[in-house]
Amino acid sequence: MKSKLLFLSIVICLLICIQSCAKKNGTAEKKRLTIAVIPKGTIHEFWKSVNAGAAKAASELDVDIIWKGPLKEDDRESQITVVENLVNRGVSGIVLAPLDDTALRIPVANARWAGIPVVIFDSGLKGEDFISYVATDNFEGGRIAGKYMADILGGKGKVIVLRYTEGSDSTTQRENGFLATIADFNGIEVVSSNQYAGVTTESAITAAENLLSRFRTAEGDIKVDGIFCATEPTTLGIIKAMEGLDMLGKVKLVGFDSSNKMVDALQKGNLSGFVVQNPMEIGYLGVKTMVSHLRGQKVEHRIDTGATLITTANINEEKIQQLLKPDLEKWLK
Amino acid sequence: MKMIDDNKFSLMSVLNKFGPFLGLLLIYGLLVAFGPDNFGSAANLETIARQTSIVGIAALGMTLVIILGGIDLSVGSIVALGTVIAASVLQYLVSKTEASSMFDMLSLRADAWMAIVAVVAVLVASAICGVINGLIITKLKVVPFIVTLGTLLLIRGTAKGLANQQKVDAPFSWLNQLLAPPSYEQRWILFAPGVWIMIILALLVICILKYTRFGRHIYAIGSNEQAARLCGIAVEKVKLMVYITAAWLAGIAGILQFSRLSVGDPTVASGMELDVIAAVVIGGGSLSGGEGSVTGTIVGALIMTVIRSGCSQIGLPNWIQEIVTGIIIVMAVTIDRMRHSNTK
């Protein structure tokens, strides 16, 4: 028994020796930057695009990235653990999409305290412990939608905004951007902007049916000209409700975010247009901003990754196709 | 002959006692040797201890339950309920004292007494959960697996309902310091207060198991419930107490979880019961009852944190990490079974 214990302790000592030797060899090539990129989850299509963008930036800028999402999808505790572990590993910098604008503040502050800079991307974080915030300017995205709505209505008419859900910051920004732009057009009247669709397509169908039937007289006259909503499930829900109320094609609908169903609806003429974010650009600029900072360049505190309007006029352009169906395989081997 | 027997016996008893610990050393040594540069650093050790404390404390209660021959699947939900109650109580107390209704929760600091009220509220709530578990198991004679599978959903649902299906923001208080890494001026405490809480609670549970009648009774019931009953042990009473203690320890884990998140999160710790059970089993606990050790459990919890931390730092994808953890759990239990068949 003693011999076994002795054997084990020898093994452990040997391992530690090997390690200290390995460390000495390792120091010479320590120049290469290693950036940890921490998404909210790794399964969703959106994050695959972000991953591709980050990988693209890494190969262009000649740095290494560690793509490491929380062990459990959308679990705050898991994400905090990942941040802590990568801080201890001593990465050059962390690019983080916080699952929570509050819960991730402390680990980010601790990273800064340990001398590791953090770039926040995709979703916001409270406090000032990060060097830059790289994300879609949702207010601007809403403005784009508002301008387009005013265009297709010819500057006059009645519009509805069916809101997404209470307390969701990014979508509220989109709705407010839309309303702010529409307010500039005297001919356009906002007849409803205080109804919420809820987070699922099902809840959106019910909400849209209740709301839209108010604007349809018994004779079948439709008293509304345009509808805007800020997410994909809400858009799909409204289309379903419009179908039942025979409003399809008669009322202009502008949506936000993309999916195959939305593209389909656009081509059928059920949807006038939608605004999309650029997830690949979010990943790309997140890493690029971090590398610029680490290489001593000054970076903006807020970086917009852009929002694009998609209509039947431009959907077949190569640039738009790449946005809708990015070539992920090329970057994610 | 006799000498060999003796020798074999002591080797087995050493392995029984230190098996999990040697496993921990081996995994840690391997990661220090071949893993990332900073894996052996003091800061990383401190982080590992901090990350272990929540599962570790919940696993102390689970150790008692498993020695008793039972199981408690509701611990993860109790942790989540704990974070929600702590956050809600702090929010309520602060909004009572603040004159204006519109303010930013995060810029506020709750007084020390408010945090104490929050802690008491969490402990009361988790004790109630334990009473529910214990009463259904002892009075209605339903198997613990099914009862706690039910209360897992029941308590999780309550937490979500209380939180209005959202996270609950809370003002800062001394609770948030419990699991913060010690600052440079405070490095003499070595570990965050939460880690010390785990160590003290572990020592307490060891003493209860070793030196109290209650502890002896837990082992007796777990080994042979019929015999224990015939010997005049108040089996039902002991069971009830054990489930309450387990829920209570899960509540303390919930307070630490709240400290770490700084918000009340009704979805946190889903699936944590599996980590907790795995910690006990890796540490030598037997699901058929009568066996289990507190130090083994803490070592089991540490093993899982070390693997998690190592995989994160190497940058392995999550699916590999899950497979590795699974293999280690199965290996640990298999070795445990082999050990048993040898001694018999």
pLDDT of amino acid B272: 92
Would you place residue B55 in the very low, low, confident or very high pLDDT band (cuts 50, 70, 90)?
very high
Rounded to the nearest integer, the mean pLDDT of chain A is 87
A109 and A48 assigned to the same domain:
yes
Chain A residues with CB inside 8 Å of B317's CB? 42
- Chain A residues in contact with B323 by the CB 8 A cut-off are none
Asked which of A236, A256, A276 is the last residue of a domain, the reply is: A276
Predicted pLDDT at B340: 67
Q: Over chain B, what is the mean pLDDT?
A: 88
- ipTM of the complex in this document: 0.83
Count of domains for chain A: 2
CB contact under 8 A, A81 and B32: no
Chosen from B195, B313, B314, B319 to mutate, greatest number of chain A CBs within 10 A: B313
pLDDT at A25: 47
Separation CA A226–CA A208 (nearest Å):
13
Cβ-nearest to A66 among B14, B43, B315:
B315
Find the range with the poorest average confidence among A4-18, A56-70, A313-327, B57-71. A4-18
More confident residue, B325 or A134: A134
Q: Which residues contact B51 (CB under 8 A, 6 or more apart)?
A: A81, A84, B305, B308, B309
**Is residue A327 domain-resident?**
no
How does residue B11 score in pLDDT terms, banded at 50, 70 and 90? low
pLDDT for residue B122: 97
- If asked whether residues A263 and A301 sit together in one domain, one would say no
- Pair A164, A221 in one domain: yes
- Flag whether A298 is in a domain: yes
Range of the domain at A145: 138-276
- A85: Cα separation from own chain's centroid: 24
Quick one: A142 and A265 in the same domain? yes
Model confidence band, residue A200 (pLDDT cutoffs 50, 70, 90): confident
From the CB of residue A298, how many other CB atoms can be counted at a distance below 10 Å? 7
Does A56 have pLDDT greater than 90? yes
If pLDDT is split at 50, 70 and 90, which confidence band does B96 have? confident
Phi-psi region of B284 (alpha: psi -120 to 50; beta: other; left: phi over 0): left
At residue B343, the pLDDT reads 56
Residue A71: pLDDT band by 50, 70, 90 thresholds?
Answer: confident
Q: Is A106 found in the same domain as A148?
A: no
Same domain, A266 and A283: no
pLDDT at A20 over 90: no
CB proximity B320 to A under 8 Å: no
pLDDT of residue B168 exceeding 80: yes
Regarding whether A225 and A215 lie in a shared domain, the answer is yes
Q: Which of A15, A75, A126 sits opposite B30 (nearest CB)?
A: A15
Quote the CA–CA distance of A182 and A258 in Å, as a whole number. 23
The reply to whether residue A77 touches residue B268, judged by beta carbons under 8 angstroms, is yes
Same domain, A48 and A165: no
**Chain B, 268-307: which have a CB under 8 Å from a chain A CB?**
268-271
Domains of chain B (ranges; CATH) run: 19-339 (1.10.3470)
What's the pLDDT score for residue B165?
Answer: 78
Residue A332 lies inside a defined structural domain of this protein: no
Nearest Cα neighbor of B248 from B130, B119, B94 is B130
Judging by beta carbons within 10 Å of its beta carbon (0-12, 13-18, 19+), is residue A193 exposed, middle or buried? middle
User: What CATH number does residue A76 fall under?
Assistant: 3.40.50.2300
pLDDT in tens, A112-125: 989 999 999 988 89
Which residues sit opposite A157 in a β-bridge? A188
B239 touches A at CB < 8 Å: no
Look at A6 and A181; give whichever has higher pLDDT: A181
For the cut 60, the answer to whether the pLDDT of residue B3 exceeds it is no
Predicted confidence (pLDDT) per residue in A211-239, tens digit: 998 888 877 788 899 999 999 889 999 99
Instruction: Give the pair of three-digit tokens for residue B277.
Output: 């059970």
